[in-house]
Amino acid sequence: MTRLRTILLLALISLIVTLSLQYTADIANIPTSKGDRSEDNVDYSINNFTLVSMNPQGQTQYHLSAETMKHFQSDDSTKLQNPRIELHDETKNKWVISALMGDVSPHGKTITFMKQVRITHSGKTDQDQLTINTESLTIKPEQHLVSTRKQIHLTGKGLSVKSNGLKANTQKGLIQLLSKVRGVYENR
């Protein structure tokens, strides 16, 4: 009788272990939604979105707006439709950047504009205005930095310059062209 009990007990333990292993394998194969940015996983959405960021002195640091803003809880990212950002420099001149699409990283430290990116920097006169066109641009508004490795086309009064990539400090109004710079200046 004890032998029969021992065999039944071992069979029951084997069955429990087998079912537990099968259940654990099934759980491991369940797909997770991390990074899923489909329309079904939108945490919240805002139409005609506007954000005004202030510096510690209470002055406007930048305005960020978009036709549509969608936040994804799975990776804490944000997707923007027709985004526009206004950055202010030390001389109160504005850098206005617009695009067809944009992404905001978790915590909002980095903003990436994509597709038909246009940068306009207004100077003291109409002659000082510059326009830069590219396909992708990374913006770090708190550090006052914008950059791209994509080809850019910079135009101003009598000026046309092409370059592969740029880095700019929007607070100081400095633009660095990275490589293969070629341009034309006509004094008008």
- Which whole number is the average pLDDT over 69-76? 84
- Which whole number is the average pLDDT over 130-138? 92
The answer to whether residues 135 and 153 belong to one domain is yes
| Burial label, 181 (beta-carbon count in 10 A; 0-12, 13-18, 19+) | middle
The answer to whether residues 145 and 123 belong to one domain is yes
Tokens (6 digits) for 131 = 């326009």
Task: Give the separation between CA 102 and CA 147, rounded to whole angstroms.
Answer: 14
Q: Is 43 in a helix, a strand, or coil?
A: strand
The answer to whether residues 61 and 12 belong to one domain is no
The answer to whether residues 14 and 46 belong to one domain is no
The answer to whether residues 86 and 174 belong to one domain is yes
Across the strands, what pairs with 149? none
- Residue 98, pLDDT above cutoff 50: yes
Residue 169 is predicted with a pLDDT of: 87
In the structure, how many helices (H) and strands (E) does the chain have?
Answer: 1, 11
Q: Which amino acid is it at 106?
A: P
pLDDT band at 81 (very low <50, low <70, confident <90, very high): very high
The answer to whether residues 98 and 151 belong to one domain is yes
Task: Give the separation between CA 92 and CA 10, rounded to whole angstroms.
Answer: 81
Residue 33 is predicted with a pLDDT of: 45
pLDDT band at 171 (very low <50, low <70, confident <90, very high): confident
The answer to whether residues 125 and 161 belong to one domain is yes
The answer to whether residues 19 and 72 belong to one domain is no
Q: Which domain does 18 fall in, by range?
A: 1-30
Instruction: Residue 121: name the closest of 161, 168, 164 by CA.
Output: 168
- Residue 159, pLDDT above cutoff 90: no
- Which whole number is the average pLDDT over 32-37? 49
* CATH number reported for the structural domain that contains residue 158 in this entry: 2.60.450.10
* 72 contacts: CB under 8 Å, gap ≥ 6: 36, 37, 41, 42, 43, 78, 79
Task: Give the separation between CA 21 and CA 158, rounded to whole angstroms.
Answer: 73
The answer to whether residues 93 and 162 belong to one domain is yes
Phi, psi of 109 (to 5 degrees): -75, -30
The answer to whether residues 46 and 21 belong to one domain is no
Instruction: Residue 168: name the closest of 145, 150, 137 by CA.
Output: 145
* 22 contacts: CB under 8 Å, gap ≥ 6: none
- Residue 76, pLDDT above cutoff 90: no
For residues 28 and 93, which has the higher predicted lDDT (pLDDT)?
Answer: 93
Q: Give residue 108's region: left, alpha or beta (phi > 0; psi -120 to 50).
A: left
Residue 129 is predicted with a pLDDT of: 81
- Residue 30, pLDDT above cutoff 60: no
- Residue 103, pLDDT above cutoff 50: yes
Residue 180 is predicted with a pLDDT of: 84
Query: What is the count of structural domains for the chain?
Result: 2
The answer to whether residues 68 and 11 belong to one domain is no
| Interior angle at CA 130, CA 126 and CA 132, nearest 5 | 155
Task: Give the pTM.
Answer: 0.73
The answer to whether residues 48 and 90 belong to one domain is yes
- Residue 90, pLDDT above cutoff 70: no
Residue 141 is predicted with a pLDDT of: 87
Q: Which amino acid is it at 72?
A: F
